[in-house]
Amino acid sequence: MGAAYFYHLTDGPLEATLPVLLGKARQAGWRVVVRGPDAARMDWLDDRLWLGPEEAFLPHGRAGTGFDADQPILLTTEADVPNGAACLMSVDGAEVSAEDVGRMERTCILFDGNDPAAVARARDQWKALAEAECSLQYWAREGGRWTKKSER
């Protein structure tokens, strides 16, 4: 069974943090699915990923293009995982189930620490996954570095 890692974003926005985490997941050899609740926001993230530096390019695509299974990183609003991802990254409070956590090597839940609603949603997700007996870790930035603050 995999583990869910909660990333409390306080030092930088999602569009700065997500590419770093995606790069680390790809270095681990994982295919990734990025799940968000809003199609327009996923289009926006897709655009941001194309704007990164050439040497740090992250091959990716949006779900529904006809090449979903081929994408090393697939951005979607759906629960299915057509690219065979080993890592799920949930953004903007997208739903994550205990089954999702169980079938992935790693599940990352990224939430905006400056948004009280996003923090409350992450707490609810933590509680639900803890009740389902998932392995959980909570990470926050300190001095420019990620620090593990809690583990269950």
Give the distance between the most distant pair of CA atoms in the chain: 43
pLDDT digits (tens, 9 = 90+) for 50-74: 887 777 889 999 999 889 999 999 9
Average pLDDT score over residue span 28-45: 97
Q: What is the model's pLDDT at position 49? A: 92
Environment class of 100 (CB within 10 Å of its CB; exposed 0-12, middle 13-18, buried 19+):
buried
Fold of 3-151: Rossmann fold (3.40.50)
Q: What is the DSSP string of 73-91?
A: EEEESSS--TT--SEEEE-
The pLDDT assigned to 1 comes to 64
**pLDDT of res. 71:** 96
pLDDT above 90 (res 11): no
| Tens-place pLDDT, residues 73-111 | 999 999 999 999 999 999 999 999 999 999 999 999 999
pLDDT at 51: 85
Q: Average of pLDDT values for 110-139?
A: 97
Provide the whole-model pTM.
0.95
